Amino acid sequence: MLAEDTIKKYEMIHRGDRIIVAVSGGPDSVCLLHILFKLKERYDLTLFVAHVNHQLRGLQAEEDMRFVRDMAEDLGLPFYVKVEDVAKVASDLHMTLEQAGRYVRYSFFRELKKQLNADKIAVAHNMDDQAETVLLHLLRGSGMHGLTGMSPVSGDIIRPLIESKRQDIEAYIKENGLKYRIDHTNYEANYTRNRIRLELIPYLKEHFNKRITDAIAQTAEILREEDNYIQKKVQEAYEKICSESRDIVQIDLKEFIELEPAIKRRLIKKAIQAVKGHDLNIEFKHINYIMDFAQRGRTGERIDIPGNVCVGLQYGKIKFFLSSSILAATDFSYNLIIPGETYIGELNARIYAAIEASVQLDFKDRYKAYLDYEKLPGDLVVRTRKNGDYIVPFGMQGRKKLKDYFIDAKIPFDMRNKIPLIASGNEIVWIVGHRINEKYKVTEKTRKFLVLSYEGGCSDV
């Protein structure tokens, strides 16, 4: 039977499995459901039919939904449906329609899997889909991992038809007299994937290799095995030089610099996935930007990349964290603990204060301040700005309104209330990451130094 060898080869199904079957109503998913239903008694399977209406094709989508519901009913299988405006999701999350559709589908399948205590999710990708995916990734400049295409088994996802050609699926459909729905948008050359299917692959078959889908599938399998080996090395490196805490990933900078570029790139992607949940919209240029930043950046510097991900260098560490939580921070005020550590929950940041008799001044780190401890007032706090705040900026003589300083420094308006300030009353002692107060600078007469260090948060202004 079609797909049975693939199921056995990759041990996709075990006796007693509870499987969610993703069914769009097209020939591939109808074929998949029919095959699994025929194996139901042999493996003592519990099957659930899941369908997603993307609301992109109007009445046709409604008819697809009814078709799949009726098919599930005829087989005596439970039917579950998700109706979602995928175009709106794509707009809201800044995704392509294809990305948004996949996001909605798999979110629904996994939600259903949890609800039904299912073991696996079966999807109907076939060998032709595999060839399209590999070519799509190749044209986009993907690395090795992208050229492995879709794995037969990927966590809880199984693809029983991944080694079956479309023509074999069509033959199975005909032989078993199965009905199915046609999505006419699959035959419109409006999307890159459709053009690959309708134009590029037929051209390659005609002019280069009649068995091009087999050749690409073979290449993907070879690369997948090699990629698995590299992924093991990446995981070993991640466990050795990376740490996770409070939605922050830290990588040891010295160890990272010594790694091979191939491992570096994958570690960066893995760190981004850990803080963001995925690496959508992260391109090769962004990865290289981070690699260059790690090589040439200075402690205290930070950069932003797509998806509200912030990358910073602090004290021998590369830190990855989301900047969105910082932008949403509310007003705060904490008494500054001297000496000691003051935690700012709203920013997920800390200020360390130490009193020293002598120090080696390092003015390259803008997130560290050196102050004359004996000149300072005794009621210091760390807080957000308030009306009436002022500072005597370092290097100047007269006081300046904090608002005017922000304007002159071209600090974006929406960031001004997120920058922590060390203050006494309305007088600002240190605008963290920017300027100290001239009145409290250290001189040759300074006998006690207050050293303040800021870590965490994301204030790249």
Residue 431 lies in a domain: yes
Cis peptide before 339 (omega within 30 of 0): yes
70-84, 321-335, 396-410: range with lowest mean pLDDT: 321-335
Position 98 scores a pLDDT of 87
Give yes or no for a contact between 146 and 269, defined as CB atoms under 8 angstroms apart: no
Per-residue pLDDT tens over the stretch 175-230:
999 999 998 888 887 788 999 999 999 999 999 999 999 999 999 999 999 999 99
What CATH code is carried by the domain that includes residue 278?
Answer: 3.30.465.60
Q: Is 316 annotated as a binding residue?
A: no
308 has a pLDDT exceeding 60: yes
Q: Is 151 annotated as a binding residue?
A: no
253 has a pLDDT exceeding 80: yes
- Among 223, 254, 278, the domain boundary falls at 223
Calculate what percentage of the chain has a pLDDT beyond 90. Answer: 73
Q: Is 142 annotated as a binding residue?
A: no
Position 235 scores a pLDDT of 96
Residue 238 lies in a domain: no
Give yes or no for a contact between 77 and 195, defined as CB atoms under 8 angstroms apart: no
Q: Is 28 annotated as a binding residue?
A: yes
Q: State the pLDDT confidence band at 459, using cuts at 50, 70 and 90.
A: very low
List the domain range (segments joined by +) for residue 391. 333-456
Closest CA to 51 of 28, 27, 75, 20: 20
Q: State the pLDDT confidence band at 413, using cuts at 50, 70 and 90.
A: low
Q: Is 25 annotated as a binding residue?
A: yes
Position 52 scores a pLDDT of 97
Position 412 scores a pLDDT of 61
Same domain, 274 and 377: no
Residue 164 tokens, joined: 């079956």
Same domain, 78 and 142: yes
Mean pLDDT of 12-39: 97
- CA distance to 104, 252, 320, per residue, from 275 (Å): 20, 17, 7
Position 300 scores a pLDDT of 65
pTM score, whole prediction: 0.68
Four-point Cα dihedral 383, 387, 388, 391, nearest 10: 40
Beta bridge partners of 83: 53
Q: Is 29 annotated as a binding residue?
A: yes
Residue 237 lies in a domain: no
Mean pLDDT of 366-391: 93
Give yes or no for a contact between 354 and 339, defined as CB atoms under 8 angstroms apart: yes
Same domain, 313 and 296: yes
